[in-house]
Amino acid sequence: MNLGEIAELAFNSSADEIIDLAKKVKARLMDEREKGSSDKHRIVGGLVKLPSKGRAVVIGDLHGDMESLLHILKQSGFTGEDANLIFLGDYGDRGSLSPEVIYIVLKLKEMYGDKIVMLRGNHERPPIFPHDLPIYLEYKYGERGEEVYRCLLELFN
């Protein structure tokens, strides 16, 4: 699946699809924490230790900026096998495409597993999530926006 296809999925995602994706990613993150390490990275306490060899692409503070996310991913040449993507959090808030940005980050985690490191930024701190995110989720998913919001709260908890 290429980046364009992932972006299209993000734009066309239903509430059920993002909820299902968030649940899968949460299970994967829990599994990574329980196992503590893999051949790609090691989790020690609250630290993620990456291999000493290879490329790392660090992406921070997207705040719903889909254009920047897609630009960074294209410019990095990330293929899922050649580098680790390290997301520093602050995926949503302030940008009207916050649901789509969050979807893409979750989809990358689902597809590439421990090649994707998802850190929680100050805008993902439960119990209060970014103030704008619920509005964008409601706009995109209608009355199910609140359900998606609660699911994302559980993911980042």
Active site residues: 123
Q: How far is CA 114 from the centre of its chain?
A: 12
Distance CA 144, CA 133 (A): 13
Pairing of strands 55-59, 83-87: parallel
Q: Kindly give, in sequence order, each residue whose CB lies less than 8 Å from that of residue 116, ignoring residues fewer than 6 positions away.
A: 84, 85, 87, 105, 108, 109
